[in-house]
Amino acid sequence: MTALAAPVRPSASSRMPRETTPHEIIASARAAPAGMKGALLVSGLTALLMWAAFTPVNFGPLAWVCLAPLLTLVRLEKSTARMYRAVFLGGMAFWLATLQWMRLGDNLMYISLVALSCYLALYFPAFLALTRVAVWRFGVPLTLAAPTIWVGLELLRGRLANGFSWYFLGHTQYQWIELIQISDLVGAYGVSFLPALVAACIVELLPATLLVRLRLVPAFGDGAPLPRISFAGQLARVAFCLTLFAATLGYGYWRRGTAEFQPGPRVGLVQSNVTSKVKHDRADWPKIQRSLENLTGQAVKQQPDLIVWPETMFRWPLLETPLDVSDADLEAAHPGLNLSWLRDLQVRRKLSQMSQMAGTAMIIGLETVNIDRSKIHTYNSAAYVRADGFIAGRYDKLHRVPFGEFVPLGDQFPWLRQLLPFVPNIDAGIAPAVFELHGYRFSPIICFEDTVPHLVRNIVNSTTEPQPDQPKRIDFLVNLTNDGWFHGSSELDQHLITAAFRSVECRTPMVRAVNTGISAFIDGDGVIRRRAPEKQQEAVVVDNIPLDTRQSFYLVGGDWFAGGCLICCGFLAVMGLLGRWLPARTSVRPV
């Protein structure tokens, strides 16, 4: 008999592939990230709503929901494809639209506009990334994580490098006077916390099906692998928001009720209308001077105690040298220096004549050229001239504007100077100044200094005078500004809005004399009491300063609240980076 042949087994290569089950297909689809389209949509919507919350649209209620679209991306356990790239693009869209007024200064400012927008746009993906770490790695409720991180990043943005303290979320609420009173406890940063808190709470209450419709997650079976928040958790979040909101308003109404404003010295604000192009043309300087003197004459008719000119509107520089520096020292240190020009007293005589003719004290914005043994220093200054013509002192601006008054790293990289319409060469001042007027004490601040919270706080604190019963701070702040670069744009409005928060934080009234506008009186509640009627028009605004005797915790504690938020951001950033190398843990779902 013939032996039966053994059955031949098919080789591995000839086997039929196993069919994938429907459950495996669904699981694979769920594991794959959603597309970029949904992330672009929500990022763009946040950019649009936030832009409309600020000037020029100025619809503040949108601030309470503008972060909600972006925060829907936090609810996804798995990032969508190129999610952070989409969020960065949304940030770019917001900042380019918001800061478009920068281009008005000069055609080369387009470069600065794009560069600054790129930098500021980075805060959007940073906000999203840190919030996701807090929610998914540590189980922090989104309602608490999002506002904490947002405020921490606002502080970082206001401090990093030279800082950019514009367009904080809380600035949109400047018209809700009771709400912004917490600024004297936690600064303007605390006002930003509330809209971010509400937006985060809204997102946690949204149904998962909405995120499916936005194509942020794939739709299979029960919808998406999203965390479910219990009814008790939802109730707790809503209760937390309502309690904090009610406490904030309650504090605001109480704080305003304790205000007893007393009429202080009468101040006249001179608002010129000089474009920057005209201002820097020496042939136009006499015309500018005559215009400001005419406006001063109009102010004198209303009998002010003090008249304020805007920043650098007196166009001839004040020349000074240290008292201990002789002519021989100057000739040795600066060969070829024209000493007769340096010793010319015409500017000093003119300043004295103006105040004597007006019969009142004056604060005049000008440049100071101070020459010592080492260097020729140029300062952006405010000179204080008494009614008798005596120049009682001056303040040199402390906080310079990058690329406007100095070039960061300009000495190391000279080519940076070629990117600017002119080469700025302004030195930083050394210390704040305090002047006295009929028993009242005040300090000048110049240009964008009124937008920097910690700077104004330091100035008020450093000029505080000890008294037998309690320290006496200055009675008011005087801001001298030139907004002529921006041709009546929304920058002028936003500058005034931002300055109002400094008055609340320090409980110190402020007067602002601004070239092209907006000149105004601001009281310690942040109320704009009086202002020039129009931008880009000459005007005179005269009124009594509403003095405020209330104390401010912010002057004592500073940015303790925002600083704590920034510490949380730093911790989350470290843990997020470590998570890339440490063994992965099971994600903690929010409760």
Tens-place pLDDT, residues 198-232 = 999 999 998 877 777 766 665 544 444 556 778 88
Q: Are 87 and 130 in contact (CB under 8 A)?
A: no
Q: Is residue 585 part of a domain?
A: no
Task: Tell me what pLDDT residue 313 has.
Answer: 95
For the cut 90, the answer to whether the pLDDT of residue 256 exceeds it is yes
- Residue-wise pLDDT tens digits, 424-438: 678 899 999 999 999
Give the DSSP H/E element, type plus range, for residue 376.
strand 376-385
The residue-averaged pLDDT of 20-30 equals 50
Confidence of residue 233 (pLDDT cuts 50, 70, 90): confident
For the cut 60, the answer to whether the pLDDT of residue 10 exceeds it is no
- Residue-wise pLDDT tens digits, 462-510: 998 887 777 789 999 999 999 998 888 999 999 999 999 999 999 999 9
Confidence of residue 11 (pLDDT cuts 50, 70, 90): low
Q: What is the DSSP string of 435-476?
A: EEETTEEEEEEEGGGGG-HHHHHHHHHHT-B--SSS-B--SE
Whole-Å CA distances, 432 to 14, 182, 376: 86, 26, 21
- Residue-wise pLDDT tens digits, 549-581: 999 999 999 999 999 999 999 999 999 888 765
For the cut 80, the answer to whether the pLDDT of residue 23 exceeds it is no
pTM of the model: 0.89
- Residue-wise pLDDT tens digits, 323-368: 777 778 787 878 877 777 777 789 999 999 999 999 999 999 999 9
User: pLDDT above 90 covers what percent of the chain?
Assistant: 66
Which range is least confidently modeled, 20-24, 95-99, 171-175, 562-566? 20-24
Confidence of residue 446 (pLDDT cuts 50, 70, 90): very high
Q: Is residue 7 part of a domain?
A: no
Q: Does 249 share its domain with 352? A: no
Q: Does 219 share its domain with 83? A: yes
For the cut 90, the answer to whether the pLDDT of residue 321 exceeds it is no
Q: Is residue 584 part of a domain?
A: no
Task: Tell me what pLDDT residue 298 has.
Answer: 96
- Residue-wise pLDDT tens digits, 114-162: 999 999 999 999 999 999 999 999 999 999 999 999 999 999 999 998 8
Q: Which amino acid is at 125?
A: P
Q: Does 288 share its domain with 324? A: yes
Q: What is the DSSP string of 119-138?
A: HHHTHHHHHHHHHHIIIIIH
In whole numbers, what is the pLDDT of the chain averaged over residues?
87
Q: Tell which wins on pLDDT, 262 or 590.
A: 262
- Residue-wise pLDDT tens digits, 534-557: 999 999 999 999 999 999 999 999
Q: Does 334 share its domain with 482? A: yes
Instruction: State the total domains in the chain.
Output: 2
The residue-averaged pLDDT of 256-266 equals 95
What φ, ψ does residue 393 adopt, rounded to 5°? Answer: 160, 180
Task: Tell me what pLDDT residue 231 has.
Answer: 85
Q: Does 545 share its domain with 571? A: no
Q: Does 227 share its domain with 275? A: no
Q: Is residue 155 part of a domain?
A: yes
Read off the CATH number of the domain in which 275 is found. 3.60.110.10
Task: Tell me what pLDDT residue 580 has.
Answer: 67
Q: Does 212 share its domain with 278? A: no
Task: Tell me what pLDDT residue 222 has.
Answer: 42
Confidence of residue 584 (pLDDT cuts 50, 70, 90): very low
Task: Tell me what pLDDT residue 413 has.
Answer: 61
Q: Is residue 202 part of a domain?
A: yes
Q: Does 310 share its domain with 234? A: no
Task: Tell me what pLDDT residue 2 has.
Answer: 46
For the cut 60, the answer to whether the pLDDT of residue 412 exceeds it is no
Q: Does 564 share its domain with 527? A: no
Q: Does 201 share its domain with 311? A: no
Confidence of residue 415 (pLDDT cuts 50, 70, 90): low
Q: Does 294 share its domain with 240? A: no
Long-range pairs, 404-409, Cβ under 8 A, ≥24: 405/380, 408/161, 408/162
Q: Is residue 3 part of a domain?
A: no
Q: Are 396 and 380 in contact (CB under 8 A)?
A: yes
For the cut 60, the answer to whether the pLDDT of residue 69 exceeds it is yes
Q: Is residue 132 part of a domain?
A: yes
User: pLDDT above 70 covers what percent of the chain?
Assistant: 86
**Cα angle, residue 472 at apex, residues 469 and 474 outer, rounded to 5°:** 170
Q: Is residue 108 part of a domain?
A: yes
Task: Tell me what pLDDT residue 454 has.
Answer: 96
The residue-averaged pLDDT of 6-28 equals 53
Task: Tell me what pLDDT residue 221 has.
Answer: 40
Question: With the CA atoms of 382, 493, 69 and 199 taken in that order, what torsion angle do they form, in degrees rounded to the nearest 10?
Answer: 80
Reduced to 3 states (helix: H, G, I; strand: E, B; else coil), residue 147 is helix
CA distance 143 to 284: 57
Task: Tell me what pLDDT residue 76 has.
Answer: 85
For the cut 60, the answer to whether the pLDDT of residue 16 exceeds it is no
The range of the structural domain enclosing residue 41 comes to: 31-258+559-578
Q: Does 542 share its domain with 564? A: no
